[in-house]
Structure 1
């Protein structure tokens, strides 16, 4: 049974359809990517899932029953893109306060906070104030306070914003670890390359509508163009062939497009018959970025916004 199911969810602001009839489900222990450009409706969707906004239509099911914010909120950890820390409060006190708000006793909160602070090398921060932290340090603190009670559902909206590569990798590894321990993670971003690394399943949202839903592998397979890279020795040219078309050459690396119905074995056999030394033969799969732009082609404003954000 999926942990979260969203059925025909809608949210309108006057004539603007921020979320327009979106449905999807998320399996337990998976890392789910919610993707799209700025303004696509991702944050509105997340705020309905967490009970901050009420939907104008549709239904949300959590853990096998209709979602009730007052019952289910303690089982959800939400890290919004707009950070919500108290700037004047000491960091240790703030972490303890937020942990107890999420249902932990004082003793449990102290144990969890100390464990996570040691893991992220934050012990020396205890008596500092949030206003003294850099953006990246604040991001680490927000992540810790979101996940330390290990909720069933963890929602991370742009979690890597402001982080250097070392700390981004640290948080990425903890996302993997939380999923292995049974937490379900929703990872919302417009950075497609991050999603390709860590997500099992994705949906793409544009202008409030779902335009794509599936596993990362399945989506790439669906939108591939049957192109391959062929690596040969220096000075070797590929022969003309009815089985493939030459798309591009870069030194002794060729990009070819296979004709419809042609198998890779047939192409390799032909190259070998023509005494072409094949040093590499690799299928070219599209990036999620390429797929998204192809799907929204013609909606120029959205495409430009997405390309700029990426």
Structure 2
């Protein structure tokens, strides 16, 4: 089942179209990347999903039902901007936000204590938000987002302000939530993070959906048939008549060929001629490369 369905959704601000008939589905229990350059329409779409604003056209489905007020308690939203009350203590802040999501006082305190232990926040309860670093505030805001155990978790730049240790800790918890069945919509400008934790992506540019699908399939779709061969020592074939691309290894060469079959044929030919090949691999484009290529072409 799809947790979230976006069907021909549009949003206009005067004569400007922020979201233009966008459609895609987010399956249950996946980490789904929502990507796009600045001003592409991601934030407008996220606000519609959270019922902060309404779509001018189209429909949002939550677990097969038209999105309504009753579904908001099943959604957790971590915005890019911090929305914490600076003068409140961490404990009071989390208790207040947890009860706003419908939790009773006992349950919310139990869950806060559990998250304190998970994210190494045991000593933070009495600290005021204004006394915390940006990274510490981000961890508090993450806890506030997941306290009510939402079915759909929307994370907009969730690692903002975090050091590498806490970034890894939060990634670990995001994966755990996914493994327990939570569907996660993940928006970021950091393409390496997308490759690391997302299974599917949607790329929006100028308000329109320009790319969607599993990351592995997208890489295959946009590959350039680049192949890296690593030879033993300096005994290598003559490549003077071919264009050689930079290799990641000193004894390697990268060729752009027509197909994997052609690469295999060349490798067998060289081995028959006595050349020793230690490694061979196809080089697939990164999501960052694909992002730049598509957005540049659209521009």
Partner SS state of residue 279, structure 1: strand
Work out whether 1:208 is the aligned partner of 2:207: yes
Contact 2:89 2:127 in 1 (8 A): yes
1:98 counterpart residue number:
97
CA distance in 2, matches of 1:261, 1:201: 25
Deviation at 1:236, TM superposition (A): 2.2
Contact 1:150 1:178 in 2 (8 A): no
Contact 1:19 1:44 in 2 (8 A): yes
Work out whether 1:19 is the aligned partner of 2:13: no
Counterparts of 1:148-167 in structure 2, within 5 Å, are 148-167=147-166
Residues 166 and 261 (structure 1), Cα distance of their counterparts in 2 relative to 1, 3 Å cut: closer
Structure 1 gaps, min length 5 = 301-310
Work out whether 1:238 is the aligned partner of 2:253: no
Contact 2:97 2:144 in 1 (8 A): yes
CA distance in 2, matches of 1:261, 1:94: 57
CA distance in 1, matches of 2:176, 2:280: 35
1:63 counterpart residue number:
63
Normalized against structure 2, the TM-score is what?
Answer: 0.95
Deviation at 1:205, TM superposition (A): 1.0
1:247 counterpart residue number:
245
CA distance in 2, matches of 1:229, 1:265: 12
Deviation at 1:137, TM superposition (A): 0.3
CA distance in 2, matches of 1:83, 1:43: 15
Residues 161 and 261 (structure 1), Cα distance of their counterparts in 2 relative to 1, 3 Å cut: closer
Partner SS state of residue 72, structure 1: helix
Work out whether 1:7 is the aligned partner of 2:7: yes
1:142 counterpart residue number:
141
Partner SS state of residue 95, structure 1: helix
1:308 counterpart residue number:
none
Deviation at 1:103, TM superposition (A): 1.3
For residues 217-275 of structure 1, give each alpha carbon's deviation from its aligned partner in whole angstroms, at most 9, with x where no partner exists.
Answer: 11001111111111112312234599x86334663110011235734431221120121
1:227 counterpart residue number:
226
CA distance in 1, matches of 2:180, 2:261: 44
1:197 counterpart residue number:
196
- Bigger Cα displacement from structure 2, 131-140 vs 121-130: 121-130
CA distance in 2, matches of 1:261, 1:235: 25
2:269 counterpart residue number:
270
Deviation at 1:148, TM superposition (A): 1.9
Partner SS state of residue 145, structure 1: helix
Aligned residues between the structures: 298
Deviation at 1:34, TM superposition (A): 0.3
Deviation at 1:279, TM superposition (A): 0.8
Deviation at 1:295, TM superposition (A): 1.2
Contact 2:225 2:260 in 1 (8 A): no
Structure 2 gaps, min length 5 = none
Normalized against structure 1, the TM-score is what?
Answer: 0.92
Give the aligned CA root-mean-square deviation in angstroms: 1.7
For residues 111-152 of structure 1, give each alpha carbon's deviation from its aligned partner in whole angstroms, at most 9, with x where no partner exists.
Answer: 000000111111211111100010000000000110122100
Residues 261 and 180 (structure 1), Cα distance of their counterparts in 2 relative to 1, 3 Å cut: closer
Deviation at 1:296, TM superposition (A): 2.1
Counterparts of 1:105-144 in structure 2, within 5 Å, are 105-144=104-143
CA distance in 1, matches of 2:179, 2:259: 41
